[in-house]
Structure 1
């Protein structure tokens, strides 16, 4: 039986599932508490699939059968209240402001906790090596991820001069076409499967530049192009595109990577940060 949390395994394997198996995955993630009490026939009916599909789904995740899968769900949700709605950013109409604040706090905290569990130290070290040795570093993303790419370039520009955020999708394609093998692209994409992402990654790969992808899904189509994948936590529902919890998780990864780069040259980074602070001090009243 897999040692990792069953829901993390589902997220990791999601893009390898068939369309029918994805229905089972979607139902299990959204209805975590209910699924552990269902028979295989009940789950099949609710998910709209055949029982054989559920059996294949369980084995694909590494479980011997449906009973083992249900046990894994029970272990993953043990000792927890049913926070599935809160984790998806959904609140009950009768919730008080205080209750809403606690629910949002739980959701954001859970995203950080998940990300901490998913961090692979070796991937962080290798990503830092790429940043330190890169000629140019371009930060990219689409939609809400584009904002994260801006924040990444802003943060790293306090210690390195070679970071640039490229915003427009046309400009991204143009910039990607001018890359060299010594350059690096840090790409933010929660799904790892948008059309613009795939087009740009193909250009970047053709130019033989290196790629760090920050995503929720390490086996997404975009991850296949990346040299390094940094996986964030936060289970985002279909109506939660660009949720704050997911952004917090990605910002945390960015901060971890930033501090790992700083560890390579503590004195140099400190000196550059002091210069930046001195220049910006004049901007304040």
Structure 2
């Protein structure tokens, strides 16, 4: 693979198929935005199939689409700290402490505002109804998204013992295989496109277990399987993987779900929260 992925595409352009050239033309014209798109969104935008994109990436010597996005991000302008330099919130080594903090604050505000814009009352209530009626709610995610699944479990554990968090992907797979329509899987995946995620969700689908997905990409593979999709804000570059700003929107959605859940049975939930608060208070100095 050449150092610059755009150079590699240029060298291979004349040997590409008609659909491959169509894809390449779109990438050349939209290099900055392409790195933020899911494979489904890119396929729709340039009018080719997802299989064409996968073959295109492998023809460039890459393992797949995510590898391609990373290569694309690297050939774009980046700051001296490794982040993309085409957004106002990008932090540079030359920024003073005050500037750095203000840029980080701005990123978090962008994430919250975009998540609020995507929020749909009907969809949120569907998710709350599923959580409220569930026998067990399995909070799943992998990598950085696993941290968000743990946050959801920790938040809801103050008011109910029905929520279960499992870290290991193998154990998640086994739990999904034994879940039932009376359970719910609350899955966190910013990309909505990982192999472990697909395996778990396909098993849950076979078991007819309702799936609530928190993702940035509403047209991802995970979204195709999920029963309810909640979209978080903030467009994260492949070079920013695991950014706090991307998590802030997801935390906001967890809080919306939590208070919606508590509103279903306010007396019971208030008593449970009081009991857990008193239990924890004994551990404080």
Settle same-fold status: TM greater than 0.5.
Answer: yes
Question: Hey, what does 1:109 align to over in structure 2?
Answer: 109
Uncovered stretches (5+) of structure 2, i.e. residues with no partner: 1-21, 37-43, 49-84
CA distance in structure 1 between the aligned counterparts of 2:254 and 2:218, rounded to whole angstroms: 17
Q: Aligned ranges for residues 121-160 of structure 1 at < 5 Å?
A: 121-160=121-160
Contact 1:115 1:249 (8 Å CA) reproduced: yes
Cα deviation per residue 1:82-141 (whole Å; 9 max; x = unaligned)?
A: x94344xx3223211111111111011110011010101101100000001011110000
**How far 1:28 moved relative to its partner?**
4.0
Change (3 A) 1:273 1:113: same
Question: Hey, what does 1:168 align to over in structure 2?
Answer: 168
CA distance in structure 2 between the aligned counterparts of 1:236 and 1:207, rounded to whole angstroms: 33
Cα deviation per residue 1:164-208 (whole Å; 9 max; x = unaligned)?
A: 001000110111111011110000000000110001101111111
Change (3 A) 1:127 1:223: same
Question: Hey, what does 1:85 align to over in structure 2?
Answer: 87
Contact 1:124 1:230 (8 Å CA) reproduced: yes
Q: Aligned ranges for residues 61-72 of structure 1 at < 5 Å?
A: none
Question: Does structure 1 residue 262 correspond to structure 2 residue 262?
Answer: yes
CA distance in structure 1 between the aligned counterparts of 2:262 and 2:197, rounded to whole angstroms: 29
CA distance in structure 1 between the aligned counterparts of 2:101 and 2:167, rounded to whole angstroms: 33
Q: Aligned ranges for residues 1-285 of structure 1 at < 5 Å?
A: 19-20=23-24, 21=26, 24-28=29-33, 57=45, 84-87=86-89, 90-285=90-285
The TM-score with structure 1 as length reference comes to 0.73
Q: How many pairs align?
A: 221
What is the Cα-based RMSD across aligned positions, in Å?
2.4
Contact 1:214 1:232 (8 Å CA) reproduced: yes
CA distance in structure 1 between the aligned counterparts of 2:138 and 2:266, rounded to whole angstroms: 23
The TM-score with structure 2 as length reference comes to 0.73
**How far 1:261 moved relative to its partner?**
0.9
CA distance in structure 1 between the aligned counterparts of 2:28 and 2:247, rounded to whole angstroms: 26
Uncovered stretches (5+) of structure 1, i.e. residues with no partner: 1-17, 32-55, 61-82
